[in-house]
Amino acid sequence: MPDVHSLVNECVTKLKKRKVEGSKATAKLTAELLRSFISQQRLPHSNQAGSLIDAVKTVGEKLIAANPVELAVGNVVRRVLQIIREEDLSLTTAAVGGLSLAAESDDEDDTEHDDHPVLSATAVAAAARNALRPPHCRLSLRTYLTQ
């Protein structure tokens, strides 16, 4: 399998020399490159989404700089970044899914509910944001590649 950086450089060269014509072809090339890049990326055990976002942003900046007139490149990069963020949010929400909400006090003398963990306001807001999005608005990268 070719090196990730050689794939990126090859795609940058194609974009600079205008060897890819049309927005659809450019978007497909960008999506396929990002799919290959992400699948070959080595991620640390902590903050995987953050390091993946940084890596995709770096590749995206190179691709956009290669052909700034072609807006499809930036659109695909931003959509992939959004997919990564949504997936991280859904994994985080699922990880805290076993917790329950409680309106009672957090005081130490409240022994009645000590065995039930409580969700933070941030986790509740994140879960609500994801739940409010209609399912048809959450298109996957695979959907874009098969069109």
Describe the chain by its helix, strand, coil percentages, rounded to 5: 65, 0, 30
CA dist., res. 78 & res. 83, Å (int): 9
Bridge partners of 100, per DSSP, are 118
- Structure token pair of residue 2: 């070719």
- Structure token pair of residue 48: 């995987």
Q: Which domains are seen in the chain, by residue range? A: 4-98+140-146 (1.20.120.420)
SS3 state at 100: strand
Q: For each of the chain's 147 residues, which pLDDT tens digit applies?
A: 568 889 999 999 999 999 999 999 999 999 999 999 998 888 777 788 888 999 999 999 999 999 999 999 999 999 999 999 998 888 888 777 655 544 455 555 555 555 545 555 565 566 655 555 555 555 566 655 665
